[in-house]
Amino acid sequence: MAKTMKYWYGSFLLSSIAINILFTIYLYVGGGRGGGGLSWSEKAAAEAEAVAAISCSGHGRVYVDSSVDSEGRLVCECYDCYTGIDCSQISPTCPANADSGDPIFLEPFWMQHATNSAILISGWHRMSYRYDDNPFMSTQLENYIRKMHSIVGNAITEGRYIVFGIGSSQLLSAAVYALSSQNSSSLPSNVLASVPFYPMYKTQTVFFNSENFQFEGDTNAWQSNNSTNNLDVVEFVTSPNNPDGELKKSVLGGKTIYDHAYYWPHFTPIPAPSDHDLMVFTLSKLTGHAGVRFGLTSIFSKSTRFSIQKRHPLHCNFFNETRLPSPAYAWVKCEREEEEDCTAVLLDAGNIIGRPGSWFGAKDRYVRLSLIKSQDDFELLMQRLTELVSLENGTIDTIGSGGGGGGGECALSWSEKAASEAEAVAAISCSGHGRAYLDGSIDSEGRPICECYACYTGIDCSQMSSSCAADANSGDPIFLEPFWMQHAANSAVLIPGWHRMGYRYGDL
């Protein structure tokens, strides 16, 4: 059962990844198809627009899968510091929470592109374990990923395998397993990362507690105490680095996992495509533009108490100009000798929650502040930091607030394109012996093509191979397809482009 659920979630996730990537490509390079009259998809489209129109005062969001109140009405999920049924009440003493790396800052971008980023999933979407003739993984998704890297110019994918995971955290852990010593008689592989490093490397390596590997901390410290000649090492290289945004390079030059979570042009200039044996990317931090976020530098430039990491301009091949990075995090240092716990200083003096330096293998004189949460979080953080820094000079000035989100409202507007696309794909005749999907294979003119059931071939799956063996092997639950088709109007769901951008659900 657990395995089946895993495949369900896996294939739903892969479909949604494929669709997200497809739309990202649409948005970067243009494209898209028109719509037509709606029938079964209209209900889902109207529902999605009604949900999107629920006012959370611009300080929260409702999703089609949000919690409901005792009367079955969807409940607003408020951003930090806001409460109330419509998130309209701000708690003035609430700390500016700059702890987690939730990429909510991308929400307004997807709302602006509501029409092109919505997707309507029919009730019978991909009921098989497999994609077309291929095992488990979508070649269409693989093609989109390769195309996206080639458009952005951030990775060489030719001649390389692409492996999908449920988030990159899973793949980072799998990579440690794959690269570490397999021989039970040999010493465990040493897993290393340069300080300051993303804490999950340590957490996962320690958590999985294998006799094949052990976390040994800072690469540079380890190198000065050990010879690499006869010791087995697996090195994490995070580029750009979390927390300080540096484009890191390998120290040891051996077995290396390149974590490129932030190697996208909205976080850093892309000087050259990454070209390594093992590169890990994630959608989590990809889909948006963070260009405006580094107003922080000017606040800290007035301070002698706090400093922030330096940013180095680099030529970016994607934008074809020299640019400063817009890192996802500020890596702040407390400069006063007595202020050794910078997280506590920011909390006590500034009412700001950050993540302590020691989580990243560095001193607690450092603290990481997340800049990629919602506009509300960012504005509160800027306000609190401005006040804190102003206190040094005996004056208090507050900064004005910037523009807010925006959103899709009113009856059937932005959702119509997704709804009519879904109906157009569903209407493609595969002679009842196959199915075309929105995220399925396409012909040379970009039209979705039929994925035929076993024993059927041809452009519309009309040709049956008489010698074909009756395949009663897999447990593919396709028998349920007609049921979902009968209930098309009630089983479709329209997912807007800004659906659940945070790592967490509601308050959890």
Ligand X SMILES: Cc1ncc(COP(=O)(O)O)c(C=O)c1O
Smallest CA-to-CA distance from 29 within 122, 128, 148, 193 is with 148
**Pairwise CA distance, residues 193 & 227, whole Å:** 16
For residue 275, count other CB atoms closer than 10 A to its CB: 12
Minimum Å gap between C-beta 10 and ligand X is: 15
The answer to the question of residue 197 lying near ligand X (CB under 6 A) is: no
CA-CA-CA-CA torsion sign (421, 422, 425, 426): negative
By beta-carbon proximity to ligand X, the closer residue of 80 and 259 is: 259
Do the Cβ atoms of 309 and 327 come closer than 8 Å?
Answer: yes
Minimum Å gap between C-beta 282 and ligand X is: 3
The answer to the question of residue 16 lying near ligand X (CB under 6 A) is: no
Binding residue for ligand X (CB under 6 A) from 259, 377, 387, 423?
259
Minimum Å gap between C-beta 270 and ligand X is: 17
The answer to the question of residue 431 lying near ligand X (CB under 6 A) is: no
> Which region, judged by CB under 6 A, interacts with ligand X, from 31-39, 165-173, 214-222, 360-368?
165-173
**Pairwise CA distance, residues 18 & 7, whole Å:** 16
The answer to the question of residue 228 lying near ligand X (CB under 6 A) is: no
Per-residue contact track with ligand X, 353 to 372, x per CB under 6 A? --------------------
Minimum Å gap between C-beta 244 and ligand X is: 11
Minimum Å gap between C-beta 217 and ligand X is: 17
> Which region, judged by CB under 6 A, interacts with ligand X, from 133-141, 154-162, 166-174, 438-446?
166-174
By beta-carbon proximity to ligand X, the closer residue of 100 and 351 is: 100
Whats the size of the chain, residue-wise? 508
The answer to the question of residue 284 lying near ligand X (CB under 6 A) is: yes
The answer to the question of residue 238 lying near ligand X (CB under 6 A) is: yes
Minimum Å gap between C-beta 167 and ligand X is: 3
> Which region, judged by CB under 6 A, interacts with ligand X, from 163-171, 334-342, 408-416, 442-450?
163-171
The CA distances from residue 308 to 105, 300, 334, in Å, are 21, 7, 9
The amino acid at 229: N
Minimum Å gap between C-beta 31 and ligand X is: 26
By beta-carbon proximity to ligand X, the closer residue of 117 and 239 is: 239
Q: How far from chain centre, in Å, is Cα 11?
A: 17
The answer to the question of residue 504 lying near ligand X (CB under 6 A) is: no
The answer to the question of residue 168 lying near ligand X (CB under 6 A) is: yes
The answer to the question of residue 477 lying near ligand X (CB under 6 A) is: no
**Pairwise CA distance, residues 435 & 427, whole Å:** 10
By beta-carbon proximity to ligand X, the closer residue of 238 and 256 is: 238
**Pairwise CA distance, residues 217 & 235, whole Å:** 10
The continuous run of DSSP H or E covering 382 comes out as helix 375-392
Strands 77-78 and 189-193: unpaired
The answer to the question of residue 261 lying near ligand X (CB under 6 A) is: yes
* SS3 (DSSP) at 191: strand
By beta-carbon proximity to ligand X, the closer residue of 257 and 422 is: 257
The answer to the question of residue 167 lying near ligand X (CB under 6 A) is: yes
Q: How far from chain centre, in Å, is Cα 51?
A: 23
By beta-carbon proximity to ligand X, the closer residue of 177 and 453 is: 177
**Pairwise CA distance, residues 349 & 345, whole Å:** 6
By beta-carbon proximity to ligand X, the closer residue of 261 and 492 is: 261
- Interhelix angle for 139-152 vs 2-29, to 10°? 40
Do the Cβ atoms of 104 and 79 come closer than 8 Å?
Answer: yes
CA-CA-CA-CA torsion sign (294, 300, 302, 307): negative
The answer to the question of residue 131 lying near ligand X (CB under 6 A) is: no
The answer to the question of residue 101 lying near ligand X (CB under 6 A) is: yes
The answer to the question of residue 282 lying near ligand X (CB under 6 A) is: yes
Which of positions 381-420 make contact with ligand X (CB under 6 A)?
A: none
Give CA angle at 333 (217, 269), nearest 5°.
Answer: 80
Strands 279-280 and 255-259: parallel
Asked if omega into 240 is within 30° of 0 (cis), the reply is yes
The answer to the question of residue 173 lying near ligand X (CB under 6 A) is: no
By beta-carbon proximity to ligand X, the closer residue of 49 and 259 is: 259
Which residues of this protein are in contact with ligand X, per CB under 6 A? 101, 167-169, 198, 238, 242, 259, 261, 282, 284
